[in-house]
Structure 1
Amino acid sequence: MSEIVIKKVILHRLVMQLKNPFSTSFGTFKDKDFFIVEVVDQHGTQGFGESVAFPVPWYTEETVETNAHVIESFLIPLLFDAPFTHPEQVGQRFQSIRRNNMAKAAVEGAIWDLYANRSNLPLAKVIGGTKQTIDVGVSIGIQSSTSKLVEIISQHVQEGYKRVKLKIKPGQDLEVLAEVRKKFPNLPLMVDANSAYTLKDIDRLKEFDNFHLQMIEQPLAHDDFIDHAKLQSQLETPICLDESIHTYSDTKTAIALGSCRIINIKVGRVGGITEAKKIHDYCASRKIPVWCGGMLEAGVGRAHSLAIASLPQFTLPGDTSASNRYFAKDIIRPEVTMTNGTVQIPMQAGIGYQIDWEALEEYRIDKKVWNNMEA
């Protein structure tokens, strides 16, 4: 492909209200505050990316405000620094900035979309995706009562979702699971602790084996590999790592130590599609199943997740469910829809969806524009 010169970057800040509050072991979210990154090349071709950091540094050290600072002060100048021919070169250029993976992923995602648009190919095909549809599950936050949780699960089972993930924490775990399993004895079920336990809870964690779960996601500390390995050696249920995996190197460490048997790949958490592909390929070579987690994305981020989930080693249902699961109105046309537990991979160029500018402008609270004066 010929040289790509980024002429303009537009940062749209949006706030979208969730249809229902989403509660985990580390907090409750009612609104999605995030950025849409729009890049424009020398021919006027556009690309779009989305940030996934939360307003508070509960999940990682990044926040909406730190994303803004890093994108504006460091990543945009690096993007304007020189032309490039492939998105992977942008990821390499960003390596001079330590961590800040969610900021990097938002910008790199826009570049991948632009590149796929210039190639007139779907993003999924450009990155090596092989699937036409992906299986999806649903993630359910901690509820005020078990009866309410059972009601929500019943609704999603009727809708066709192929796996249910329950958020848990000490005091809202085994008793809840016992009731859920009584009602849904054969439902593919997993739990996500978001680092709410320690090895002091090992006897309690061993009891999770009684519920025939697909996996326990991130039971221990976000920066731990050693204790997860100790725990995994004493559990029949596979451990899946999420918050611990930020890089290809983290992936190699976790697999070498036996810290997990499954890995959750989130494009934002690992710094973009380039790193996500490397992690996917390494897991495939080691026969480690992977799946695509969710970060309450709006339509652009949801589209990027669909693209990465089209890679062949994504063998477990992901969290990239329908737009209307979270938002009354999304910012893309058409919205992401689910039928019988599957989502269709779009075959149009780029991310495969068009921006609904009326919706984006309705949710937008700020807009900043950078022009590349050297180009």
Structure 2
Amino acid sequence: MRLEHVELLHVTLPLVTPFRTSFGTMTSKDTFLLHVVTDEAEGWSEFAADPEPLYCSEFVAGAEIVIRDALLPRITALPEPTTAALAPAMAAVKGHELAKAAVETAMLDAELRGYGMPLATFLGAVRDRVPAGVSVGIKDSLPQLIDDIERYLEEGYLRIKLKIEPGWDVEPVRAVRTRFGDALPLQVDANTAYTLADAAHLRKLDDFGLLLIEEPLAENNLHAHARLQRRLTTPVCLDESLHNAADAASAIAMDACRVVNIKPARVGGYLEARRMHDLATAHGVPVWCGGMLETGIGRAPNLALAALPGFTLPGDTSASRRYFAEDITEPFVLADGHLPVPTGPGIGITPLPDVLARFTTARYALYAASHPR
């Protein structure tokens, strides 16, 4: 496989409703797509982070520089830039997992398209559809929260995740349990909003039969999460703290988490995500696929990953309409609480040219081979 062209497309899609978490409120998905062309096929990927480094240290403008100036020169220097060769080539660049994931996914998409192989087949998927959960942001009032959840349940979502923060935690959970009952699969996500000093308060959530509490404490502090888990019956799930399979192994060994959220972009791509899945499954730890408010370009490969056997909890693989009135790909539509796993080669989907043109705010060529085609 020979790399011929790489371009970056900045896109901005308005969200159907603002999405508020403990670290801020989003009103649009503002990111970039990476488009690669090889001598065999083309590939697409989506950078998962945001314009500002609030969820994680990576951000849109920084990732563009890293890809252009640090990652692509190492990849284009390879005699054969196969996906298997990418990780060793990019290893000298410290961190920047989300930028690396964007590069790896686009190249993997192109390589698999050249073989005519779906990503789901390559990863080892065992299902042709996956159960869908929905993430519900922090609201202005409990009635608004209840109304939104009622609508999502009517649409067919099989699991509800509540974003929480100090001052918006026990009462929202109690209100949801009172209105919808104990049978509703329910979990909460703190996005690192608490400290170990809040353990007694977080123990109040044990009364509500939650599936898990996600990343309650500062990221990368496995010791604190292990101490918290000893004081809770609710399983702790780690997200931001796990950057690779080695981190997951350490967290599981320390009992810092009893559930793992695998976000492929956060761990450097789908190859490392599969290693995390295999590791957790070998230790009997359930995993699920988190979301980053992806467009269809990011959602398609997440569905392929979520079809692996160890993904036993519904993920944040919501339908396109959950976030966007119009997606840049053919929309993913919920049916009986599930979304279909793409069956086409590669990630199984490409942008709709006219829609992509409307949402594209800038377009840059990052690399062009000097040899004639």
2:195 alignment partner, one of 198, 212, 235: 198
Amino acid at match of 2:188: V
Amino acid at match of 1:34: T
Is the 2:75–2:81 Cα contact (8 Å) retained in structure 1?
no
1:303 Cα shift? Answer: 0.8
| In the alignment, structure 1 residue 145 sits paired with structure 2 residue 141 | yes
What is the CA–CA distance in structure 2 between the aligned matches of 1:293 and 1:95, rounded to whole Å?
Answer: 25
| In the alignment, structure 1 residue 130 sits paired with structure 2 residue 126 | yes
Aligned alpha-carbon RMSD (Å): 1.1
What is the CA–CA distance in structure 2 between the aligned matches of 1:83 and 1:162, rounded to whole Å?
Answer: 47
Task: Report percent identity of matched pairs.
Answer: 42
Structure 1 residues 70-107: Cα deviation after superposition (integer angstroms, max 9, x where no partner):
01111221221124364122122111111101111111
What is the CA–CA distance in structure 2 between the aligned matches of 1:93 and 1:115, rounded to whole Å?
Answer: 17
Amino acid at match of 1:24: T
2:357 alignment partner, one of 342, 348, 361: 361
- TM-score, normalization: structure 2? 0.97
What is the CA–CA distance in structure 2 between the aligned matches of 1:344 and 1:31, rounded to whole Å?
Answer: 25
SS of corresponding position for 1:246 = coil
Is the 1:84–1:90 Cα contact (8 Å) retained in structure 2?
no
Structure 1 residues 41-64: Cα deviation after superposition (integer angstroms, max 9, x where no partner):
123x10101101111111111011
What is the CA–CA distance in structure 1 between the aligned matches of 2:68 and 2:12, rounded to whole Å?
Answer: 19
What is the CA–CA distance in structure 2 between the aligned matches of 1:322 and 1:56, rounded to whole Å?
Answer: 25
What is the CA–CA distance in structure 2 between the aligned matches of 1:345 and 1:300, rounded to whole Å?
Answer: 13
SS of corresponding position for 1:354 = coil
Structure 1 residues 267-321: Cα deviation after superposition (integer angstroms, max 9, x where no partner):
1110111111111111111111000000011110111111111111111100011
What is the CA–CA distance in structure 2 between the aligned matches of 1:49 and 1:20, rounded to whole Å?
Answer: 24
1:65 alignment partner, one of 54, 57, 61: 61
Q: 1:345-356 counterparts in 2 under 5 A?
A: 345-356=341-352
| In the alignment, structure 1 residue 248 sits paired with structure 2 residue 233 | no
Aligned length: 370
SS of corresponding position for 1:175 = helix
| In the alignment, structure 1 residue 31 sits paired with structure 2 residue 40 | no
Structure 1 residues 187-245: Cα deviation after superposition (integer angstroms, max 9, x where no partner):
11000000111111111111110010000000011121001001111111100000100
What is the CA–CA distance in structure 2 between the aligned matches of 1:146 and 1:340, rounded to whole Å?
Answer: 27
2:292 paired residue number: 295
Structure 1 residues 83 and 5: alpha-carbon distance in aligned structure 2, compared to 1, 3 A threshold: farther
Structure 2 unaligned spans of 5+: none
Q: 1:1-375 counterparts in 2 under 5 A?
A: 4-43=1-40, 45-84=41-80, 86-185=82-181, 186-333=183-330, 335-369=331-365, 370-373=367-370
SS of corresponding position for 2:91 = helix
Amino acid at match of 2:208: F
SS of corresponding position for 1:20 = strand
Is the 2:36–2:107 Cα contact (8 Å) retained in structure 1?
yes
